[in-house]
Amino acid sequence: MKSISKILAILSLPLLLSACGGGGGGGSGGAASYTVTACSDTGTSFQTDEYNTIGSNSGQTSNQLSLVCASSAYARGATGDGIKIAVVDTGGPWDASGSLSNNEFNSTASDIVKPSNSDYVNSDSVPNDDNGHGSGVGCLIRCDKGDGDMHGIAYNSIVSWYKIFNASGVIASDSNVASALNAADSNDIINNSWGSNSDCTSISTCTSVVGANTYAAMKTATDTNGKILVWAAGNSGGAHPYAEAKSVLYDTALQGLSVAVVAINATNADGSGAKDGKIWSSSNRCGDAAAYCIAAPGADITFVGNENGQTFYVGSGTSYAAPLVSGGLALIKQEFSSLTNTQVVTRLLTTALDTGEYSQTAIYGHGLMNLNAATAAVADLRLLGGGTLLDDPNASYYDLANNTFSSSAAFSNALSSALAGHTMEIYDSFDGANFKTNVSSFFTSGSYTSQNTIENHMARLQPKTMEKVKTKNLYGNFTVETDGNYIESSMFQSAGDFLALGFNQSTNSFENAVDPLSGFFNDSNFGNNYLVNPYFHAGSGQDYFMSFNSNSSFGIDTFTNANGNDLGLAFNLNPLSSTSGDTKNAGDLQIVLGTNYEQNKFLNSSSTGAFATGDMSNTNFTGVKYKKNLGDDFTFVGSGFAGYTYIDKASNSYIDKSTPLLTSTFTLGLAKANFIKKDQRIGFFINQPQRVEDGSLNLRVPTSSDSDRTVTYSNLNVDLEPDARQINFDIIFQKTVTETSNLSANLTHVQNGDHSNSSKNQNFISLFYKKTF
**DSSP string of 151-193?**
--TTTTSEEEEEE-B-TTS-B--HHHHHHHHHHHTTSSEEEE-
Query: Is 177 one of the binding residues for other proteins (CB under 8 A)?
Result: yes
Whichever of 10 and 178 has its CB closer to other proteins, that residue is 178
| Contact partners, residue 42, CB within 8 Å, separation at least 6 | 69, 71, 72, 75, 372
* Span near other proteins by CB under 8 A; candidates 167-175, 216-224, 705-713, 744-752: 167-175
Select from 2, 133, 142, 246 the one that contacts other proteins (CB under 8 A): 133
Query: Is 558 one of the binding residues for other proteins (CB under 8 A)?
Result: no
Measure CA of the first residue to CA of the last residue in the chain; give whole Å.
65
Instruction: Say if residues 431 and 256 touch (Cβ distance below 8 Å).
Output: no
* Span near other proteins by CB under 8 A; candidates 160-168, 221-229, 432-440, 445-453: 160-168
Query: Is 3 one of the binding residues for other proteins (CB under 8 A)?
Result: no
Of 652, 30, 48, 759, the closest CA to residue 413 belongs to 759
Instruction: Say if residues 323 and 136 touch (Cβ distance below 8 Å).
Output: no
Query: Is 308 one of the binding residues for other proteins (CB under 8 A)?
Result: yes
Least CB distance to other proteins at residue 313 (A)? 3
Binding residues for other proteins restricted to 285-304, rule: CB under 8 A: 300
Query: Is 442 one of the binding residues for other proteins (CB under 8 A)?
Result: no
Least CB distance to other proteins at residue 226 (A)? 25
CA angle 276, 282, 283 (to 5 degrees): 85
Binding residues for other proteins restricted to 316-355, rule: CB under 8 A: 316-320, 322
Query: Is 193 one of the binding residues for other proteins (CB under 8 A)?
Result: yes
Residues composing the chain: 773
Least CB distance to other proteins at residue 153 (A)? 17
Across the beta sheet with 293-299, the strand order is: 112-113, 158-163, 84-89, 189-192, 228-232, 258-265, 293-299
Instruction: Say if residues 654 and 672 touch (Cβ distance below 8 Å).
Output: no
Least CB distance to other proteins at residue 300 (A)? 8
d(CA 57, CA 44): 23
Beta strands in 233-292 (DSSP E): 258-265
* Site size toward other proteins, by CB under 8 A: 43
Of 407, 378, 387, 319, the closest CA to residue 131 belongs to 319
Query: Is 309 one of the binding residues for other proteins (CB under 8 A)?
Result: yes
Query: Is 196 one of the binding residues for other proteins (CB under 8 A)?
Result: yes
| Contact partners, residue 648, CB within 8 Å, separation at least 6 | 602, 613, 614, 615, 616, 617, 618
CA angle 159, 162, 166 (to 5 degrees): 130
Query: Is 212 one of the binding residues for other proteins (CB under 8 A)?
Result: no
Select from 181, 183, 314, 378 the one that contacts other proteins (CB under 8 A): 314
Query: Is 525 one of the binding residues for other proteins (CB under 8 A)?
Result: no
Select from 315, 365, 386, 555 the one that contacts other proteins (CB under 8 A): 315
Query: Is 163 one of the binding residues for other proteins (CB under 8 A)?
Result: no
587: phi then psi, degrees, rounded to nearest 5: 90, -170
Select from 26, 77, 98, 169 the one that contacts other proteins (CB under 8 A): 169
Whichever of 208 and 622 has its CB closer to other proteins, that residue is 208
Least CB distance to other proteins at residue 315 (A)? 4
Whichever of 133 and 142 has its CB closer to other proteins, that residue is 133
* Span near other proteins by CB under 8 A; candidates 314-322, 572-580, 726-734, 738-746: 314-322
Query: Is 167 one of the binding residues for other proteins (CB under 8 A)?
Result: yes
3-state secondary structure 374-423: HCCCCCCEEEECCCCECCCCCCCEEEHHHCCEEECCCCHHHHHHHHCCCE
* Span near other proteins by CB under 8 A; candidates 71-79, 308-316, 541-549, 688-696: 308-316
Beta strands in 414-535 (DSSP E): 423-428, 434-438, 443-445, 467-472, 476-483, 486-494, 499-503
Query: Is 282 one of the binding residues for other proteins (CB under 8 A)?
Result: yes
3-state secondary structure 616-636: CEEEEEEEEEEEEEECCCEEE
Query: Is 271 one of the binding residues for other proteins (CB under 8 A)?
Result: yes
Instruction: Say if residues 703 and 721 touch (Cβ distance below 8 Å).
Output: no
Query: Is 479 one of the binding residues for other proteins (CB under 8 A)?
Result: no
3-state secondary structure 135-150: HHHHHHHHCCCCCCCC
Whichever of 171 and 624 has its CB closer to other proteins, that residue is 171
Select from 27, 30, 136, 534 the one that contacts other proteins (CB under 8 A): 136
Strand pairing class (381-384; 423-428): antiparallel
| C-alpha distances out from residue 6 to 11, 127, 232, 241, 355, Å | 8, 41, 22, 20, 12
Whichever of 57 and 525 has its CB closer to other proteins, that residue is 57
Whichever of 193 and 759 has its CB closer to other proteins, that residue is 193
Query: Is 90 one of the binding residues for other proteins (CB under 8 A)?
Result: yes
Least CB distance to other proteins at residue 61 (A)? 14
CA 615 and chain centroid, separation: 26
Whichever of 205 and 578 has its CB closer to other proteins, that residue is 205
Site string for other proteins, 227-256 (x = CB under 8 A): -----xxxxx--------------------
Whichever of 83 and 177 has its CB closer to other proteins, that residue is 177
Query: Is 138 one of the binding residues for other proteins (CB under 8 A)?
Result: no
Whichever of 85 and 610 has its CB closer to other proteins, that residue is 85
Query: Is 179 one of the binding residues for other proteins (CB under 8 A)?
Result: no
CA angle 390, 395, 398 (to 5 degrees): 95
Whichever of 195 and 534 has its CB closer to other proteins, that residue is 195
Query: Which residues lie near other proteins (CB under 8 A)?
Result: 89-90, 131-133, 136, 165, 167-171, 177, 193-198, 209, 232-236, 271-272, 282, 300, 305-306, 308-309, 311, 313-320, 322
